[in-house]
Amino acid sequence: MTSESKTVPPSMVDAMARLWAKFLPEIERRVASLEAAAGAMQDGSLTAEQQAVAHADAHKLAGSLGTFGLQRGTELAREGELMLADTATANDSAALESIVREIKDLIASRG
């Protein structure tokens, strides 16, 4: 692969920036869903429906964050997805909260 083929055309950079701006509110909503699930886990009020929604949101985040170059975000979202696939307990809440914080930091750094 030549260095020339690694260069991203400005039009592609602009297009990705527009897509990021368009999808950022939905990405943030999905992160909020994970954050709410972590809080509900902590106090023992996580419902099956809330867990299922958060699980689906984690799955969608895994794909969308990678699309925007946030590979670590994809890894974190997958961890959250796996955590939410099983019976989530209060013991899992701290780990999920940590995942959420790191994802938020990655999103903020993406600008």
42-90 tens-digit pLDDT = 999 999 999 999 999 999 999 999 999 999 999 999 999 999 998 777 7
pLDDT above 60 for 1: no
> Is the pLDDT score of 5 beyond 70?
no
CA–CA separation, 38 and 36 (whole Å): 5
Confidence (pLDDT) at 7: 81
Q: From CA 89, how far away is CA 34, in angstroms rounded?
A: 14
No. of helices (H) and no. of strands (E), the chain = 5, 0
- At residue 3, the pLDDT reads 47
The half-sphere exposure of 68 on its side-chain side, counting CA atoms within 13 A, is 25
Of the candidates 78, 93, 7, the one whose C-alpha atom is nearest the C-alpha of residue 45 is 93
What are the residue ranges of helices labelled H in the chain? 3-6, 10-43, 48-67, 71-85, 90-110
The pLDDT assigned to 84 comes to 93
Pairwise CA distance, residues 65 & 96, whole Å: 17
The helix (H) or strand (E) run that includes residue 54 is: helix 48-67
